[in-house]
Chain A
Amino acid sequence: MARLSSENLETAYEIIARYPVKKSALIPLLHLAQEQDGWVTDVAMAHIAELVEVTPAEVIGTCTFYEMFKRKPVGKYVVNICTNISCQLLGGEELLHHAEQKLAIKAGATTADGLFTIEDVECIAACTEAPCLQVNYRYFHKITHGEFDSLIDDLKAGTRDEIPAHGTLAKVRQHIPAARRAGAVAPTDRAEPVWLIRNRQEGAS
């Protein structure tokens, strides 16, 4: 639990530089903090406030609006089970109840060993693959109760290393090489784009 590490700080600067206004980097930076610590700590939020030049209160304001940001530690694996309409029709609620039995916790809670959190979530855009779930935002489609049990057993045994610990989203980051960068366009940058000007001039001549 800390401020952003020096490596993450580098990444943070790179992210901020892409935006015309620093505050736009807030959500990506909160994800970065969550990737580092598994949840979003007060210390990290204060650090992010410094980086994007807003008050810590503004950071908390944004952070608390979004479900993915956890303000308390959660399990190493967050298991999101969809119970929305398409999944409900094909056993999503039963799958959730099965998961609660298997892990002996209610949705929203974390197992005592800190390994699993279960969440009852809204549609995750895999509706034709119902019932479905995500573990740390990695998809599992058309899941039977038996498959759910094996998945949990595998995660306990540590044999599913394609799934990173909670907090890591994309394992590939965007990187814009300096030589190829067009640059962030500030809202105060009132110039008409050059290719429009050229085309107009060519049209006129």
Chain B
Amino acid sequence: MTMNDVPKIITSRFDQGDAHTLDGYRRTHGYEGLAAALEKTPQQVADEVKAASLLGRGGAGFPAGIKWTLAPANVWPRYLVVNGDESEPGTYKDRMLLERDPHQLIEGVLIACYAVGCGQAFLYIRGEMAHAQERMAAALNEAYAAGFVGKNILGTDFSVDVVLHWGAGAYIVGEETALIESLEGNRGMPRLKPPFFPAAKGLYMQPTIVNNVETLSNLPWIIRNGVDEWNKLGAETSKGTRVFAVSGHVNNPGVFEVEFGVTTFRDIIFDPKFAGGIRGGKALKAFIPGGASAPWFYEEHLDLPLEKVAIDRAGSMLGSGAIVVMDEDTDMVKAALRLVRFFARESCGKCTPCREGTTWMEKIMQRILDGHGRPEDVALLMDTADNISVDFMWPPRMTTICPLGQSATTPIASAVMRFKDEFERYVGGPIELNVTVKGAAFIGPPTRKKEGSGV
């Protein structure tokens, strides 16, 4: 199969102007997946999703069908919470799905509730997305009126309310336990896992399935076309298609649905059908493969497939499907500072290493960028980061309640390890580091060229 004839699964209606209306949606197979699901038993639907190996699209990449089985048996009620808080820098897909195909998500939510036995669903949309909230509200109102949501759905005994909820500006609320705290009306601070795995003790301490918008948007297609069709697409563990936003210094930045696990970074960054290469004929310097939290990749990673296992092994992650491309002229110290500042601003403050560490890392980086840095500042910076993410391992060793703290150290380790010469130019002297760095993407392949030679 070539890249061209892979079917569009969740972006198929993006160019259909009226897809957000019930009529437009129904004209293109809308709610057929729900009808098909209601013909089956909840167990059959759950089994099908499990067989589909639908990896979560929110960041962690945990298979949805398996997550659904983690809710303890015979504990009721169960809830479904949809994570539409999209705010990982570089990520732009859930907002599009919400604005352009809201019914597809509603249908996915209903299929999940039917299979898992959720008594109520909450759709948590990021506060800043006014238009997405409007589109979802309008879609829900239409779907309720037509009998697709609410009491006795399609005339059956399956009844569930889907409640539109919206946030108020806090990146950390995207973390699933913080999302639940926020939905309970509290400050959005993560809970410790264990014991507070949402599937066991989630919303109001009840079993709760938290799934990402994109994850759930795949369900109507899977149920309508069957798991065999789905499993024909993609690689061993990474099935189906996936949506990636490619931004930064490319000719044609955009949001692309590609076959999961098969398409490579080189395809999606350079192919004219996708991002079309680096702007102005410049060379690639680095790219972020999966959102601000992901360790950076370089030229030598371009031929890796967009596949979970391969990317994890190379020391980074596909995360939220956000590829940010930086050309040869990019100031890596400046770029890293911006990312560190993001994490410092967004730390919820619950754990000391994260709260204090991110703040200090930002201050040290700012001093370096302002030209007041001393050569030993870079070692200080790495030492501070090492206190949050011990030995810069991948996956990181947790020293905090949620992974935000470790994420804040990845841009630093990426930039310092690869572009040490740029830091040396800022601080005006040679840098000596005295930390252990283990993450594969930070240290790079053994044969890699000397830093600063440009890639």
Tell whether A and B belong to one assembly: yes
B185 near A128 (CB under 8 angstroms)?
A: no
- Could you tell me the dominant secondary structure of chain A's interface residues? loop
**What is the distance, in angstroms, from B407's C-beta to the closest C-beta of chain A?**
13
B residues contacting the other copy or chain, number (CB 8 A): 89
- Whether A62 touches B42, Cβ cut-off 8 Å, given contacts A89-B249, A182-B159, A182-B161, is no
Q: Is B134 an interface residue (CB 8 A)?
A: yes
Interface residues of B in 82-103 (CB under 8 A from A): 86-92, 94-95
Q: Is A150 an interface residue (CB 8 A)?
A: no
B169 near A174 (CB under 8 angstroms)?
A: no
Q: Is A88 an interface residue (CB 8 A)?
A: yes
* Complex Cα–Cα for A123 and B171 (A): 9
A residues contacting the other copy or chain, number (CB 8 A): 73
List the B residue with the shortest CB-CB distance to A137.
B130
Q: Is A147 an interface residue (CB 8 A)?
A: no
Q: Is A20 an interface residue (CB 8 A)?
A: yes
Chain A residues within 8 Å of B370, by CB: none
Q: Is A125 an interface residue (CB 8 A)?
A: yes
- Whether A65 touches B187, Cβ cut-off 8 Å, given contacts A128-B255, A193-B119, is yes
A174 near B335 (CB under 8 angstroms)?
A: no
List the B residue with the shortest CB-CB distance to A127.
B247
* Complex Cα–Cα for A55 and B150 (A): 33
Interface residues of A in 154-178 (CB under 8 A from B): 169-177
Chain A residues within 8 Å of B114, by CB: 195
Task: Name 10 extra pairs, CB < 8 A, besides A127-B90, A172-B134.
Answer: A54-B185, A61-B186, A85-B339, A89-B330, A122-B342, A128-B253, A130-B247, A137-B129, A172-B141, A182-B120
> Interface on A for B, CB 8 Å cutoff?
18-21, 23-28, 30-31, 52, 54, 61-62, 65-69, 80, 83-86, 88-90, 122-130, 134, 136-139, 169-177, 179-187, 189-196, 198-199, 202-203
> Interface on B for A, CB 8 Å cutoff?
41-43, 74, 76-77, 79, 86-92, 94-95, 114, 117-120, 126-131, 133-134, 136-138, 140-141, 144-145, 147, 149-151, 156-161, 163-171, 182-189, 203-206, 245-249, 253-255, 288, 292, 322, 324, 326, 330, 334-335, 338-339, 342, 345-346, 348
